[in-house]
Chains A and B, each alone.
Chain A
């Protein structure tokens, strides 16, 4: 059956669900859709699967307020209804926050950059500020990541569009970083930003950070204010 309507959704992944992987979410979503009896379209072929597209999934271990998916339906359904039905069927810690009918063809372009909040413990704020300064002064910072094909080296600096220490909550041994990273290939992830802070700025962490993706969207004059990716879909 053909797809007559596409619905895009923003969902949150919080609390203990930050440890779930992208594939774990996929399975949970497919089951929730099946339980809620939403008229989802299936692909053709020997092993049909529901038509769900995912974009730019956050790495496992990061919480997120802004993950995006798109589903294809065989009948038009009110997006609010879709959102509520799926939420009823999903467990705790995962929830759809926003749903719109897809109108804009270039949705992926709307996810131009991500804003991440990184909470650091057992650090001194001045140390962090110093490392941020050094990183921003660099033109290029090469980091390493282990992939299936072996160690991959790439520049992390180029994709970092903005980086600051959030002074709103000063605390002993604790600092909050906010960083805006451009989407692209290779994707520069929060742990790559921290690797860059280490190699360019000398920042050594002893406690793993708490990472939350706060937003995704198109860039504006203020890099910390990203545009709502659904702006072109809303009437």
Chain B
């Protein structure tokens, strides 16, 4: 490795290139994507390295990173480049040859940037973050960093409880990043122009007192002797007791990404993805994404059409994805899909929606989506097997509605329908889970009748439920992995032993053990950082990949380390909490009123439902009044028909 002086912002591609012939799929590290933005280092003042902490093939299509990448680069004085997790084969060679973590844009060292922003869609990227920090020669402990190190900022949904990684990050941002990333950059620019008085600590202080950013080291934690948190208090003047999330209103004014990245390497999604709205008002009690992204803010039909058109021109993708948490709920979804289907009729462009709620689905909608002849599968997410459990989780769909919708799909030519469920929901019994088998059997029976064919299929896909922060279920006990596995195997038997329809039902499930580690990381507190670091040192990487994930390692290390605090893995996962206990994320504000969340938890246990506030009266969850936001939906305001029976 060269001993010459390091020049800030220089490319290290020449050193990296020597290693690439020895690694798997080297093209994922070279960048060169269509629409990638190249800017002069010296012409810019505030520089961000943005990371999606997973392999390139998963990280590149991520909308969050692409949006922030464009928003920052549009400003002449700011620069943004991207980095992703490198596979262990390259990690080893980089360490041996002293090649640092690099950006794929111009192969600059991550450590040269002012900010290192990491977007955590899931907690399973934590160990990959440590690899990147290590390869960038950034100390794991934020307290050991100097003015020469970037400010490490966490964002994404997992940042709503960043306590397990509080030790490793300098700051966290909650909610929508577009406006706040520019605000942070302005503060940094000003600080730099003043000559950086007080160094990084002063910059962090300014960011924290603005209320925009959570800086963990400005808060002290005290614990009771039984291990529970006693209190969380700011340790500097001007630091807010609670840090709130950010909500971008008027999505039409932020039509990003304007020029999506088109990779050379193969990635998991190769389509033009358009967010048709953010937020969700359905109030499904298990769903963190729905709870923390309130209120709903739609993009207008005009903007959606413009964004789609622009994306296709700039990329050449042949598939358009209309994304949101529940796309069929957009107030003008029928007009949008019909309009797009009309425009792209006869071309090779196809449309897709992610999994839809059963009660918002509409066969007309599905027909529009498959007008170009491609009829892949349909996916629905009933989530619970029995009506009783669906009331508990607030997913209001009757068995009759489900059967009817799916049957109509078969009658209209669909051959394959996927149904998503969860196992381990609060108050769940064996009966609730076995009900899934009966429902699937009924789907096949009715489907065969309606379509007149015997070869229709349905796939039941089921995973273990992980209680998440900022949801009514945040106090719930997670089901043990042993019990989860038992229920999943029982269900498998129940499905397969039905001779009449068993062969037409596919069954996919994830065993319960990874879910327990996800549970540890989701509802963990600052003490969990030691566990994350320890498993990393023992080689744990890529926790989202089953080939790499080792439950046994996590389990062993967790018990070893947490012992000294008189707590363990179960304490964080299968233990039910009560209202009085200070939760590790209570000082982070998602807008939801804690009392309302508790009330909804009690309602859940009693099987009471809550309506969708997009169409019915507000039930005071607390978000809009406390954040000054409001639901933004289309002019028509008329809900789409839940079902069309042909």
Contact = CB atoms under 8 A, between A and B. Distances in A.
In this complex, the interface size class of chain A, counting residues with CB under 8 Å from chain B, is 20 to 34
B348 A92 contact: no
B348 A91 contact: no
B34 A91 contact: yes
Nearest to B38: A92
A197 B29 CA distance: 31
A169 to B, nearest CB: 19
A23 B33 CA distance: 15
Q: Which of A61, A92, A207 has the most chain B CB atoms inside 10 A of its CB? A: A92
A133 interface: no
A37 to B, nearest CB: 10
Contacts of B317: 31
B272 to A, nearest CB: 11
B20 A27 contact: no
A35 B35 CA distance: 13
Contact of A27 (B17, B36, B270, B348): B270
Interface in B8-52: 13, 17-18, 20-22, 26-27, 29-34, 36
Interface residues of B, number: 28
Contacts of B36: 91
A89 interface: yes
A124 interface: no
A48 B317 CA distance: 15
Given A16-B32, A20-B264, A91-B264, A35 B316 contact: yes
Task: Choose among A19, A28, A32, A42 the residue with the greatest number of B CB atoms under 10 Å from its CB.
Answer: A19
B262 A31 contact: yes
B631 interface: no
A145 interface: no
A208 B27 contact: no
Interface in A69-115: 89-93
B316 A32 contact: yes
Contact of B265 (A24, A31, A32, A42): A24
A17 interface: yes
A92 B266 contact: no
Given A31-B315, A61-B26, A208-B21, A17 B266 contact: no
Interface in A37-73: 42, 47-48, 60-61
B89 interface: no
A229 to B, nearest CB: 26
Contacts of A27: 266, 270
Given A20-B264, A24-B265, A42-B348, A91 B33 contact: yes
Contact of B316 (A16, A17, A89): A89
Contacts of A61: 21, 26
Contacts of B27: 19-21, 24, 60
Contacts of B262: 28, 31, 91
Contact of A31 (B13, B26, B31, B316): B316
A28 B264 contact: yes
A91 B262 CA distance: 9
Nearest to A211: B21
A34 interface: yes
Given A20-B264, A31-B34, A42-B348, 7 more contacts: A27-B270, A30-B316, A31-B315, A32-B316, A35-B315, A60-B27, A91-B34
7 contacts: A24-B265, A30-B316, A35-B315, A47-B374, A60-B26, A61-B21, A91-B34
Interface of A: 16-17, 19-21, 23-24, 27-28, 30-35, 42, 47-48, 60-61, 89-93, 207-208
